[in-house]
Amino acid sequence: MKLANPTLSAAVAVGVLSTVTWWSAEAAYQTPQPPASVETSPILLVMNKDQFQGKWKQFKGDLKKQWSEFTDDDLKQIEGNYDKFEGKLQERYGDRKEDIKRWTDEWFKKQSGSKRK
């Protein structure tokens, strides 16, 4: 069988292919996305900045034991200021920042629980 116009047949094939591709892309776009992970939640779920400052003397000893890259100079610069703490976290442990935030959150949970007993 000889096609009358091979250029037209190629154009039809390309049109069909692009229509199928468009349908696939539209279906993927309409697929519901899962909710954001809870693991990215901020540290301030358990404490606020005032509590952070109030517990600083107790906290900094345990912080340095657990996360040894914090220096005495770092701790002096932070002095209970949560914003400075976050800056030093990024500077010293950029790749493990979320681990330290989780550890900090757990530390404050334990401190809050020990008062109630």
pLDDT tens string 83-99: 899 899 889 888 888 88
Q: Give the residue from 34, 48, 89, 36 showing the smallest Cα distance to 67.
A: 89
Q: Are 45 and 101 in contact (CB under 8 A)?
A: no
pLDDT of residue 94: 87
pLDDT at 73 over 90: yes
Alpha carbon distance 39, 45 (integer Å): 12
Comparison of pLDDT for 62 and 5, the residue scoring more: 62
Alpha carbon distance 59, 42 (integer Å): 18
Q: pTM for the whole thing?
A: 0.55
Position 89, amino acid: L
Alpha carbon distance 87, 85 (integer Å): 5
pLDDT tens string 5-50: 655 555 444 454 454 454 455 555 555 555 554 444 454 456 788 8
